[in-house]
């Protein structure tokens, strides 16, 4: 983990927008690091400042499945997801990047209206599962080949790539309380603060969706399975290389980060039905974190007297799924600044 450095440096501000200039990224989760890579690799001097290291944020705790879950609006999300899919497919060629291509099985207890699987438009390889091959109790289902980011491998890899491109990371240990205070150091600030933007930008539109997961050892499961319409609540299994993630819960508006014993039991019960091989798995840890949900992702330029802010937050349950597509749009907006 990079060491904490002074948050504020006395340097002359630089011009904005072009290669060679300094840009500050606020936020060190998957959004901040992915933007950091694209900007640093395009020749900018990028300083990333964050209150917390990614290990302590939702980006360190998420499942890492490519799936546009609880994120809006669909037209932009479809584009960002497809762009991210393409980058991840390329990264999956080198196992050191921490990206796996897995079969994702989506099961439904009723006939699926097409709008429920709108995101399949971004998936090159998918098929409807014939009724005779569906497990008992299900009336419809899809199989899709999608990327899974093995978060414990993928995030360190992003961090190393950003640093190798010349980026710097300041883990400040405290929240920046005004973006304007950073304009003395750069004329463009990229705001990737996730749920932190609620206070920082006074954004009442941004809300938490609490998620509880159970991380277990992987007894050899190599596919992901989901049942979003389980009568006891959403159920999904994400198979990574050395662990599996059992989900999930989705409590809109809840800031409660404590582990609920009844939710843990439900996660075990419903996911055992989906993936019987979980009987051979051992629990590693309970995980609770908050998805930064907004009725629409905020990805736009805000013009301030002292400079520009490019906002990139509110990715809900799909921050990994749209990360590269959003970073590409941030780079485009920066070039226009
Ligand atoms: C249970 C659960 C499961 C999930 N599973 C998946 C999944 O399978 N696939 C997927 O695509 N997505 C998943 N997500 C969603 C994903 O985790 C988030 O969308 C994503 O992590 C958001 O990343 P981010 O970088 O925008 O924000 P964060 O990871 O929250 O990072 C925000 C950063 O900003 C910093 N910050 C905030 N405020 C300030 C401030 N004022 N000053 C300085 N720094 C500040 C923080 O310290 C942190 O470094 C899941 C989420 C949850 C909760």
Question: Is 6 within the bounds of a domain?
Answer: no
The model carries a pTM of: 0.94
Q: Which residues of 260-280 are buried (b: 16+ CB within 10 A; e: fewer)?
A: beebbebbeebbbbbbeebee
Asked if 226 contacts 267 with a C-beta cutoff of 8 angstroms, the reply is no
Ligand 1 midpoint to CA 317 (Å) = 9
Residue 249 lies in a domain: yes
Our count of domains for the chain comes to 1
Q: Is residue 42 part of a domain?
A: yes
Please list every protein residue whose CB sits less than 6 Å from any atom of ligand 1: 26-32, 50-52, 57-59, 62-65, 175-176, 192-196, 200, 211, 213, 248, 289-292, 313, 315-321
Instruction: Give the residue-averaged pLDDT of 25-32.
Output: 98
Write the DSSP string, 271-318.
HHHH-GGGGG--EEEEEEEEEEEEEEEEEEEEEETTEEEEEEEEEGGG
Per-residue pLDDT at 8:
33
pLDDT at 176: 97
Evaluate whether residue 171 is within a structural domain. yes
What is the 314 CA–ligand 1 centroid distance (Å)?
9
CA distance 163 to 86: 23
Domain assignment present for residue 134? The answer is yes
- Which position has the token pair 């039905």? 273
Does residue 14 fall inside a structural domain? no
Which pLDDT band holds residue 19 (cuts at 50, 70, 90)?
Answer: low
CA 104 to ligand 1 center in whole angstroms: 23
* CATH code: domain of residue 259: 3.30.9.10
For 75, the domain range is 22-336
Residue 226 placed within a domain = yes
- Kindly report, residue by residue over 159-184, the tens digit of the pLDDT: 999 999 999 999 999 999 999 999 98
To test ligand 1's pocket by mutation, which of 58, 246, 285, 297 has the most ligand atoms within 8 angstroms of CB? 58
Closest residue CA from atom 10 of ligand 1: 318
By CB atoms closer than 10 A (0-12, 13-18, 19+), residue 152 is: middle
CA of 53 to the centre of ligand 1 (A): 11
pLDDT tens for each residue of 100-122: 999 999 999 987 677 789 999 99
> Would residue 116 count as lying in a domain?
yes
Ligand 1 atom nearest to CA at 209 = 53
List residues bridging with 145 in a β-sheet: 103
- The DSSP bridge partners found for residue 24 are 47, 189
pLDDT digits (tens, 9 = 90+) for 232-269: 889 999 999 999 999 999 999 999 999 999 999 999 99
Phi, psi of 260 (to 5 degrees): -100, 120
Q: Tell me, what's the pLDDT at 97? A: 97
Q: What spacing in Å lies between the alpha carbon of 127 and ligand 1's midpoint? A: 31
- Of 19-23, 28-32, 139-143, the range with the lowest mean pLDDT is 19-23
C-beta neighbour count of 119 within 10 angstroms? 24
């Amino acid at each position: 983990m990079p060491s904490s450095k002074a948050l504020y440096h006395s340097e002359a501000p630089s011009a904005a927008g072009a290669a060679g200039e300094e840009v500050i990224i606020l936020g060190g989760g998957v959004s901040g690091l992915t933007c950091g890579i694209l900007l640093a690799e395009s020749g900018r001097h990028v300083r990333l400042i964050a209150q917390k290291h990614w290990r302590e944020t939702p980006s360190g705790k998420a499942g890492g499945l490519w799936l546009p879950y609880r994120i809006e609006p669909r037209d932009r999300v479809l584009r960002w997801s497809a762009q991210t899919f393409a980058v991840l497919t390329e990264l999956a060629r080198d196992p050191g990047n921490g990206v796996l291509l897995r079969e994702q099985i989506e099961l439904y207890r009723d006939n699926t209206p097409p709008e429920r699987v709108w995101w399949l438009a971004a998936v090159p390889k998918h098929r409807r599962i014939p009724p005779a091959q569906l497990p008992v109790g299900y009336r419809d289902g899809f199989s899709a080949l999608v990327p899974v980011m093995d978060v414990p491998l993928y995030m360190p890899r992003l961090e190393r790539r950003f640093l190798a491109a010349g980026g710097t990371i300041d883990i400040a240990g405290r929240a920046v309380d005004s973006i304007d205070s950073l304009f003395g150091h750069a004329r463009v600030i990229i705001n990737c603060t996730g749920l932190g933007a609620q206070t920082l930008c006074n954004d009442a539109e941004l809300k938490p969706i609490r998620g509880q997961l159970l991380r277990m050892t992987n007894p050899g499961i190599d596919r992901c399975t989901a049942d979003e319409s389980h009568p006891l609540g959403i159920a999904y299994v994400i198979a990574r290389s050395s662990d599996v993630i059992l989900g999930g819960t989705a409590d809109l508006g809840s800031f409660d980060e404590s582990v609920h014993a009844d939710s843990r039991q439900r996660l075990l019960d419903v996911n055992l039905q989906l993936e019987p091989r979980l009987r051979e798995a051992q629990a590693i840890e309970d995980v609770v974190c908050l998805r930064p949900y907004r009725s629409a992702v905020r990805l736009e330029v805000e013009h301030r007297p002292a400079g520009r802010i490019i906002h990139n937050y509110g990715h809900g349950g799909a921050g990994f799924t749209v990360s590269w597509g959003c970073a590409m749009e941030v780079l485009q907006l920066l070039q226009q600044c």
